[in-house]
Amino acid sequence: MAVVKVCGTETEYGIQTIGMPDTNPIAASSMLVNAYVADVKRRAAWDFDDESPGRDARGYARKGSAAPDIETHLANAVLTDGARYYVDHAHPELSTPECSTAMELVCFDKAGELILERSMEAASRVLDPGQEIVVYKNNSDGKGNSYGCHENYLMDRSVPFARIAHQVTSHFVTRIIFAGAGKVGSEGPGSSAGTITFQLSQRADFFEEEIGLETTLKRPIVNTRDEPHADPRRFRRLHVIVGDANCAEVATFLKVGTTSIVLAMIEDDFLSSTGSDLTLASPVRAIREVSRDLGLSKPLDMATGRQMTAMEVQWELLRLGRKYAEDRGLECVGGSDPGGAILDRWEDVLNGLESDPASLARQLDWVAKKQLIDAYRERHGLPWTSKRLAALDLQYHDLRPERSLFRRLDTEHLVAEEDVERAVYEPPETTRAYFRGRCLERFAPWIASANWDSLVFDLGSDPLRRVPMMDPLKGTAAHVAALLDECETPQQLIERLGA
């Protein structure tokens, strides 16, 4: 039986400074993260001093503190919602807390955007007039430089990695038809300027290998990084680097939801048992073909010698997903309710893509962006090479509310605004992120370091006390909420845990 598909995203945001010619992107990213952390602490202190519990309604009070993780001079914070917010490769990066369903992850992914938005506001308060730090949730600068939105999925260690890599590749290549964030033009090796006007994916241009360990050059479709951040005898964390950063909630939901189901089918060796072979003859060639095929009709060469379109591969995966749900159930993706919602939405979107892709402008990033750019191009009579279209593409992903073009579109929301607001401060209840987040909220001054798989407490006189969290499904609200409520001090908590 497949393990629960605990999942999370790590988003590297594009960063741009205005009026700060001497500031490099690493320094700007650090300023951004530090400004946010300082601002949250200030709010928490203010709420506390004010002794006005009524103000807690907005979720600020006593939920604000963040513990710095002192392993590097770069900004690096673990937040009370269980997320990690830091500087990586000259970008601000936010890793969501571990979530147990795709829908939960949509909420925490959006909360991540809100954290970046508030970071920009916090930075603007300490910068000089005329200076500004701006972040973009995209994956490319249009000049051949890419930065990622990685996904992570919990898998059973006993599943042979070769099977995962072999079977998941066709999903990674073809899910672009709904998970692509859209891009004007093309970049990287083999691209000839002007011939590609628009493509479905931000990232497809940058993948040159089928499988490998790299993440910054010669990027592989399947990444082999083996760093489980959990008990390595029981678990694997599949690190997925091939996806686009999505703004549209439905796109994120489907990207993560369909991948969770496909991985569960691989884990239970269900795909092999159906006799279905969706192996692509040349995945690297295919990922570019799919991304550049706006008509969604290009036949891809399959290893069997036949051809299938990306749509056909996705229809087949959906058919198998429905069969898997009937035969094995959907416990590992949250049960029949949230799991079934993934299958239903998957089907709706494939139907929409087949009959009229434009009908999905409220659901999918690439469709929304394409529609916007087409209309703008038509109104101003612009050629595809116009810099104004490239600007429009970038600005779609601008996280400043007053500048974001995505925000101006009436896209479909799957999670309520108040839930996203809460997810900025409160952890998910269904994974170990709950224990991490609640401990940081309650006992931050005594936490020497917070990592994915442990918390280290410094209680003063004793040696440091490490609380291991090797199972991502332990430390949930069901396990530890009562215990945490009963403990008034970190000493009591450590004693009760026997750590």
Partner 1 sequence: MPEREQKRHRAPERETPEEAEEVAPSAKGEKLKAEMDDLLDEIDEVLEDNAEEFVRNYVQKGGQ
- Taking CB under 8 A as the criterion, which residues in 455-494 touch partner 1? none
User: Is residue 318 part of the contact set for partner 1 (CB under 8 A)?
Assistant: yes
- Taking CB under 8 A as the criterion, which residues in 352-391 touch partner 1? 371-372, 375-376, 379, 386-388, 390-391
Residues 6+ apart with CB under 8 A from 364: 178, 180, 248, 250, 251, 349
- Report the distance separating Cα 364 and Cα 371, nearest Å: 11
Stretch that binds partner 1, among 243-251, 408-416, 417-425, 488-496 (CB under 8 A): 408-416
User: Is residue 406 part of the contact set for partner 1 (CB under 8 A)?
Assistant: no
The upper half-sphere exposure of residue 472, i.e. CA atoms within 13 Å in the direction of its Cβ, equals: 26
**What pairs with residue 8 in β-bridges?**
152
- Report the distance separating Cα 226 and Cα 130, nearest Å: 45
Q: What is the DSSP string of 349-363?
A: HHHHHHH-GGGGTTT
Q: What angle do CA 306, 316, 10 make, to 5 degrees?
A: 110
Stretch that binds partner 1, among 228-236, 316-324, 413-421, 431-439 (CB under 8 A): 316-324
Closest approach of Cβ 315 to partner 1, in Å? 3
User: Is residue 146 part of the contact set for partner 1 (CB under 8 A)?
Assistant: yes
User: Is residue 127 part of the contact set for partner 1 (CB under 8 A)?
Assistant: no
Q: How many CB atoms lie within 10 A of CB 390?
A: 16
Look up residue 240 and give its DSSP letter: E
- Report the distance separating Cα 185 and Cα 194, nearest Å: 7
User: Is residue 306 part of the contact set for partner 1 (CB under 8 A)?
Assistant: yes
When the beta carbons of 53 and 299 are compared against partner 1, the nearer one is: 299
Largest distance between two CA atoms of the chain = 72
From the DSSP assignment, how many helices (H) and strands (E) are in the chain?
15, 18
- Report the distance separating Cα 129 and Cα 409, nearest Å: 30
Backbone angles phi, psi at 198, to 5 degrees: -150, 145
- Report the distance separating Cα 349 and Cα 334, nearest Å: 21
Closest approach of Cβ 473 to partner 1, in Å? 27
Closest approach of Cβ 93 to partner 1, in Å? 9
When the beta carbons of 39 and 289 are compared against partner 1, the nearer one is: 289
Quick one: which of 59, 142, 212, 338 contacts partner 1 (CB under 8 A)? 142
Closest approach of Cβ 455 to partner 1, in Å? 26
The pair of structure tokens assigned to 301 is 């060469």
Amino acid making up residue 131 = Q
Closest CA to 210 of 265, 304, 278, 280: 280
Backbone angles phi, psi at 284, to 5 degrees: -65, -40
The pair of structure tokens assigned to 426 is 């409160």
Q: How far is CA 123 from CA 38, 197, 285, 397, in A?
A: 10, 36, 43, 19
The catalytic position among 88, 293, 365, 398 is 88
- First-to-last alpha carbon distance for the chain, in angstroms, is 31
- What is the x/- site pattern for partner 1, positions 217-246, by CB under 8 A? ------------------------x-----
Quick one: which of 208, 331, 347, 471 contacts partner 1 (CB under 8 A)? 347
Closest approach of Cβ 420 to partner 1, in Å? 23
Stretch that binds partner 1, among 114-122, 147-155, 438-446, 464-472 (CB under 8 A): 147-155
Quick one: which of 132, 316, 331, 429 contacts partner 1 (CB under 8 A)? 316
Quick one: which of 91, 166, 237, 465 contacts partner 1 (CB under 8 A)? 91
User: Is residue 307 part of the contact set for partner 1 (CB under 8 A)?
Assistant: yes
Q: Is 88 an active-site residue?
A: yes
Backbone angles phi, psi at 254, to 5 degrees: -75, -40
Residues 6+ apart with CB under 8 A from 55: 47, 61
Q: How many CB atoms lie within 10 A of CB 311?
A: 18
- What is the x/- site pattern for partner 1, positions 17-36, by CB under 8 A? --------x-----------
Quick one: which of 14, 257, 283, 472 contacts partner 1 (CB under 8 A)? 14
Closest approach of Cβ 438 to partner 1, in Å? 30
Q: Where are the beta strands (DSSP E) in 280-345?
A: 300-301, 307-308
Quick one: which of 308, 332, 415, 424 contacts partner 1 (CB under 8 A)? 308
Closest approach of Cβ 171 to partner 1, in Å? 14
Closest approach of Cβ 16 to partner 1, in Å? 6
User: Is residue 1 part of the contact set for partner 1 (CB under 8 A)?
Assistant: no
User: Is residue 150 part of the contact set for partner 1 (CB under 8 A)?
Assistant: yes
Size of the site for partner 1 (CB under 8 A): 57
User: Is residue 73 part of the contact set for partner 1 (CB under 8 A)?
Assistant: no
Show which residues are catalytic: 88
Q: Tell me which residues touch partner 1 (CB under 8 A).
A: 12, 14-16, 25, 88-91, 139-143, 145-148, 150, 215-216, 241, 299, 301-302, 305-308, 312, 315-316, 318-319, 322, 344, 347, 350, 371-372, 375-376, 379, 386-388, 390-392, 394-395, 402-403, 405, 408-410
